[in-house]
Amino acid sequence: MPYAGIIIKICRAYTDTEEDFEDYYQEVCLQIWKSKDRFQDQSEWSTWVYRLTLNVCLTLMRKSKKQKKYESNELSPGDQKEENAPSISDESLNQLYAAIRELSEIDRAVILLYLEEKSYQEIAQIMGTNPNNIGVRIKRIKERLKKKLDGKVN
């Protein structure tokens, strides 16, 4: 799968368990395969993959939130399984991912695109927002991440 790296990086930021990660990855692959005929040359293929991956992750996340809400009403606290967060051998990266997962859905997308060295223009294009706000938003997100990582980063 071309651009598998992009998909992996984004899916990890939106999932709490290894199982969910695999499901999200699979769903993104399926959606790319289903809709690649609709890809138009107006944007880069990578931009299109980013946008589609983010959309799939956000949709699945919202669905899963609803499902969890429903299940938490159905199950007693003791029935709930302990979650098994997907881990990577690099501890710093793991901590960074954990901090990213605490951000809002949109902030996660923005910071992921920033870390992937996308320009403000591209980030705005993918997110469907104004590029003028992106810089300020990224600055705020980075500050929040630094706080969450508790001085482990500069």
Q: Given the rule CB under 8 A, which residues bind another protein?
A: 1, 4-5, 7-9, 18, 21-22, 25-26, 29-30, 33-34, 37, 88-90, 92-93, 96, 115, 142, 145-146, 149, 151-154
Half-sphere exposure of 3 (CA within 13 A, CB side): 19
Nearest Cα neighbor of 150 from 83, 82, 102, 108 is 102
The C-alpha angle with vertex 60 and arms to 43 and 34, in degrees rounded to 5, equals: 50
Q: How far is CA 139 from the centre of its chain?
A: 18
Shortest approach of another protein to residue 77 CB, angstroms? 30
- When the beta carbons of 24 and 75 are compared against another protein, the nearer one is 24
- When the beta carbons of 56 and 96 are compared against another protein, the nearer one is 96
Shortest approach of another protein to residue 79 CB, angstroms? 26
Shortest approach of another protein to residue 78 CB, angstroms? 30
- When the beta carbons of 30 and 75 are compared against another protein, the nearer one is 30
Shortest approach of another protein to residue 102 CB, angstroms? 14
Residue 98 near residue 14 (C-beta atoms within 8 A): no
- When the beta carbons of 58 and 145 are compared against another protein, the nearer one is 145
CA distance 149 to 95: 7
Residue 27 near residue 10 (C-beta atoms within 8 A): no
